[in-house]
Structure 1
């Protein structure tokens, strides 16, 4: 029902507006980022922070496990007050570890903030290249074929502007593209140029 209403609305709008040719194109952002040195550097930085923070959390967990083993070994020798105190200390350490984990890896945590900070420069660099290619090629829409939200059932290679964006970034598109993609017919290569 909703789809039918959507199609009728689209038909009415399309009938009221004169037809204007729109030019579409797509790029493979995953491939572009895999070749961009600034992106690789930022990703390495993110990985280093994530590894360090993961190690901190593992150290906290190891300390808690050590405290629990010590408590279990001494439990029969402790008074009820001493047992409660040890359990309270262990529970406090567990809570601290959970809070630290959430602070680092939680929603908009330290890792998220660090990723946002380190990825800003490569993202801006690619965005400028995308804007320039779209303007030069007079594109109305440019899609990312590597994103999960965009599903393409068919793509005409002549609308693939990945190479142009790579060239704009000063990267060699042919170094990996030839290995990753099946060979294009000569006619398709000439059409693209």
Structure 2
């Protein structure tokens, strides 16, 4: 359906071009442009690293759940009904937590979506702004994306403005870097002219931010310590159950041996 609509649009544009010889058309290769913007490549690499980290964490949680399920299956025969129900409830909670975490990372409005917008969208906006500026200056009526769904059966290289877009983005970025340096120098000079009281106020605000950050890290640390303690407690319970199981099996074997000796007499 989408390709049909694009084909109709192409036919309409072609008809307009034939009817009006003054129409000016250009095209770009979006993939080529993005691959020649270092910031875009860095953003893609950063996003890819995050995605791999999230996938690794999800896989680790999934494997941990499978271990708990296997342990329950092996020990079910020697556990009380209450302990079995407790373990099953724990597994259900962990599975629901895993699903929530997966949705948090890869859901429609999850971390991946937000991070992509944060990293990639500003660069894409730069590209579109550069295209609009060039089209306005060169008086192009239409600019097509060669790498898009609209198939170009033929394209003359002289109408390709991809390199021009890349150059314009590089120029804009250099201008922005220059502005940032000037702003940083102004801020530095501004701080140098501050009174001791003003400097102290800035230092206090910085200390408050640092304290909030440290408090947040401390809360995360406490939660992690509680989680580890709980896991250790469960490991000790499994160890005790295993020891009881081994002791029971040993007792049964000794009983069988005694019974066999008694029968032989």
Q: Which TM class, normalised by the smaller chain length?
A: 0.7 to 0.9
Structure-2 residue corresponding to 1:81: 82
- SS of residue matched to 1:169: helix
- Give the structure with the larger helix fraction: 2
What stretches of structure 1 of length at least 5 have no aligned partner? 172-193
Instruction: Structure 2: state its 5+ residue gaps.
Output: 172-265
* Aligned residues between the structures: 159
Residue 156 in structure 1 maps to residue 156 in structure 2 = yes
SS in 1 for 2:147: coil
CA RMSD across the alignment: 2.5
TM-score by length of 1: 0.72
Q: Deviations over 1:103-145 (max 9, x none)?
A: 1101121110011011133123222221222122211111111
Calculate the TM-score normalised by the size of structure 2. Answer: 0.54
Measure the CA separation in 2 of the matches of 1:106 and 1:151.
32
What is the deviation of 1:59?
1.9
Which residue in the other structure is 1:169 paired with?
A: 169
Give me the whole-angstrom Cα distance separating, in 2, the residues matched to 1:166 and 1:86: 59
Offset of residue 78 of structure 1: 1.7
1:125 aligns with 2:126: yes
Where 2:143 maps in the other structure, the secondary structure is strand
The structure showing larger relative contact order (alpha-carbon pairs under 8 Å, at least 6 residues apart) is 1
Does 2:53 align with 1:52? yes
CA distance in 2, matches of 1:170, 1:94: 48
1:24 offset after TM fit, Å? 1.6
